[in-house]
Structure 1
Amino acid sequence: MREGALKFLRDRKRSVKQTDVGEIARRYFVMNLFDGSLALLGVVLGSYAARVEDPLVVIKVALGVGLAMAVSGFSGAYIAEKAERARELREVERALFFNLEDTAFARASSYAALLAAIVNGASPLVAIAVASLPFALTLLGLMCFNHAVVASAISIIVLLFVLGAYMGRVSGEGLVVNGVKALLIGGLTATLLLLIQAL
């Protein structure tokens, strides 16, 4: 059983190398986590603007938005990647004059599409956890609601900075510069949402 599990892991690792899915999955993860973070920042500050004071309501709305993004991210990425991998497979088959169906390359392509979809679908769950934790503490009586709103918003903005810094590291453009760019996007979103409250 152990040998079978090790073989499975080796095959998956080989598939990642063959298809460059690691880079694609990383890009999907960052992109959808960034989108999810901004969406949940909207949920938190929008709830505050609407004078919602029940932490459970905020958590449920955050879960609803996050899960919708997860399903959308998974299905959208899977359909797109599956189509792209099928196109690549057909191009290779035409170049080789050989049917690659049921080969290791075809299986690697299918695995790549699935892995990219899973990563894209799972990334908003991180944003859900970050946004919801302060409100969970409020439910436990460990934090007041207004403090939870502030803590949640700050946590999301910090997450945006980390994502920006990570993208800066990957691109070689600088951690701080890209982190600040992401921070400004989060700050602009927060400002617009707070302006809605003043209407």
Structure 2
Amino acid sequence: MQITEMGPIARRYFVKNGFDGSMTMLGIIVGSWIVAVSEPAIITTAGLGACLAMGVSGLFGAYMTEKAERTRNIKSLETKMLTDLDDSIFSDASGFVSIYAAFVDGASPIFTGVISLIPFILATTGTLVIWDAYVFSFVVTLATLFSLGLYLGKIAKENI
């Protein structure tokens, strides 16, 4: 990770796609509330479908992007060093980082999206009434967005 300087990139992927996951769920929740969807399974299914789509998109998009960037960097380094780096630690780290970035990018919107869906999952089991699930989900989603903002503030060493 140090060789490839992946830490800051992974943080950006996590936060950026975490916001995407939460905001997408917020859109589904508010839209469902506006049209008075009273069946929690519909919201849960739509939300899980959106999470899956964002996750797959993030996974493959980040992998292809990072793989291309890392390959370019390795080739540039090979040209400067006048040597082949195919079986080097740099090449191995580059391959690992592409997979790691893809995992972070794909998992982040799924993670934050599912957090927003927990109240509707509970409503599906009968633990919550659907209208309470709307309120709890809205609050949990805003709390998730706020937490991501706090995390960014901590990274930037800024006050709240």
Whether these two folds match at TM > 0.5 is yes
Consecutive unaligned residues of structure 1, counting only runs of 5 or more, are 1-15, 177-199
Q: What TM-score, normalized by structure 1, do the two folds share?
A: 0.78
- CA deviations 1:48-93 (Å, max 9, x no partner) are 1122110000000000111100000011111110110011101110
Corresponding residue to 1:106 among 91, 102, 113: 91
Give the structure 1 partner of residue 49 of structure 2.
64
CA RMSD of aligned residues (A): 0.9
- Which is helix-richer, 1 or 2? 1
Structure 2: gaps of 5 or more residues? none
Q: Quick one: which of 36, 53, 61 aligns to 1:51?
A: 36
**Which of 141, 148, 153 is equivalent to 1:163?**
148
Write out per-residue CA displacement over residues 84-115 of structure 1, whole angstroms, 9 at most, x where no aligned residue: 00111011101100010121210110111110
Task: Name 1:35's counterpart in structure 2.
Answer: 20
1:113-192 equivalences under 5 Å are 113-174=98-159, 176=160
Q: Is contact 2:13-2:104 (8 Å) kept?
A: yes
Q: 2:72 aligns with which of 80, 83, 87?
A: 87
Q: Contact conserved, 2:48 with 2:114, CA < 8 A, in 1? A: no
The corresponding residue for 1:76 is 61
4+ runs deviating over 2 angstroms: none
Q: Which residue of 2 aligns with 1:192?
A: none
Give the number of aligned pairs: 160
Q: What is the SS of the residue equivalent to 2:103?
A: helix
Q: Tell me the amino acid that sits aligned with residue 79 of structure 2.
A: R
Instruction: Name which structure has the greater RCO, CA cutoff 8 Å, separation 6+.
Output: 2
Shift of 1:165: 0.7
The answer for the alignment partner of 1:24 in structure 2 is: 9
Q: Secondary structure at the match of 1:36?
A: helix
Distance in 2 between the 1:59 and 1:88 partners? Answer: 42
Shift of 1:173: 2.1
State the Cα distance separating 1:128 from its structure 2 match: 2.6
